Amino acid sequence: MTLQQLRYITAIARCGSVSQAARELFIAQPSISKAISELEKELGKKLFERTPRGMLFTNEGVEFLTYARQILQQIEALEKRYEIGKEVTHYFTVSSQHFPFAAEAFSRITKSVTADCYELMFLEGETQTIIDNVRDLKSEIGILHMTAQNSMILTRILKEAHLQFEPLFETLPYICLSRQHPLAQKSVLNLNELSPYPFLTYQQNQNSIWSMAEIMLRPEPVSQRITIADRASAEYFMITSNAYAITTGDFGAALSHPGLIYLPLLGEGKITVGQIRNEHMMISKMALRFLEAIQDIIMENDILSESMTSF
């Protein structure tokens, strides 16, 4: 097996056909076909199904493609990292659900980097995308939550992806809403009180099961629902309407819009926020600094002590 064969496989997936891949790579189509045949013979598995419509990936081919992409990404990272005559570049990527404390922690480590050359990425997105990014080594760390409602299924999904979940902190669920909201003067809330108001949730892949949704809990019944894709939109809709969201803890004015308020939610258990990492990867110094920054933010806002409060 050679790196060239892996590059051919990923090129076919990217281009959609052998002929397109050959044009992109500036090589003859028979050379790619021969290399693929030799690889299949070596593996003893069919990676492609030859059909009148072209070559389609088999189940084994799809699995092989995942590993091939990971290997090539690591090779590319190595080449960048140890490029002769170039200044060392610091790389770090984290994927997260829409948590303001995660964005703040990332901002803090960005400010602490003294090197002139670095590439850092903070990706907020859907739960499945976070899992995929960490599994495929596009992100070193993922930040997501677990509750009693989703922990069993999420644990199974993470195990199948060879990812490990390590808790960072536990907290009560909180309701985020406008300071002008009719319920804003209350000290605590329950789901029944929220039923007349629009529930705000983040967009997920349409094929995702409910356990992958970023809603912390499933408030029922929900007759009014607003789905958004980013935190800026979430804040806007909550400030300008009676919509609410379920989130993790009250992180104070420094991490939230002054027009919003956070109230604890009664009788719905606890939320565990944690990191996911590839079980075969060692954690980097940059990742450790990011996790330490999260712990600093938790302590600064007394989230741990709040999480132990009994209502």
Whether 149 has a pLDDT exceeding 50, the answer reads yes
What tens digit of pLDDT does each residue of 270-288 get? 889 999 998 877 888 889 9
Task: Look at residue 16 and give its three-state secondary structure.
Answer: coil
Whether 50 has a pLDDT exceeding 80, the answer reads no
- Give the Cα separation of 270 and 276 in Å (integer): 19
- Residue 310: predicted pLDDT: 32
Instruction: Specify whether the CB–CB gap between 46 and 61 falls below 8 A.
Output: yes
Whether 167 has a pLDDT exceeding 90, the answer reads yes
Query: Phi/psi zone of residue 302: left (φ > 0), alpha (ψ -120 to 50 degrees), beta?
Result: left
Instruction: Specify whether the CB–CB gap between 141 and 276 falls below 8 A.
Output: yes
Task: Identify which has the larger pLDDT, 80 or 246.
Answer: 246
What tens digit of pLDDT does each residue of 217-244 get? 665 667 788 888 888 888 888 999 999 9
- Give the Cα separation of 139 and 287 in Å (integer): 10
What tens digit of pLDDT does each residue of 184-217 get? 999 999 888 988 999 888 876 655 555 566 666 6
User: pLDDT exceeding 70 applies to what percent of the chain?
Assistant: 85
Question: Which of 249, 257, 253 is CA-nearest to residue 305?
Answer: 249
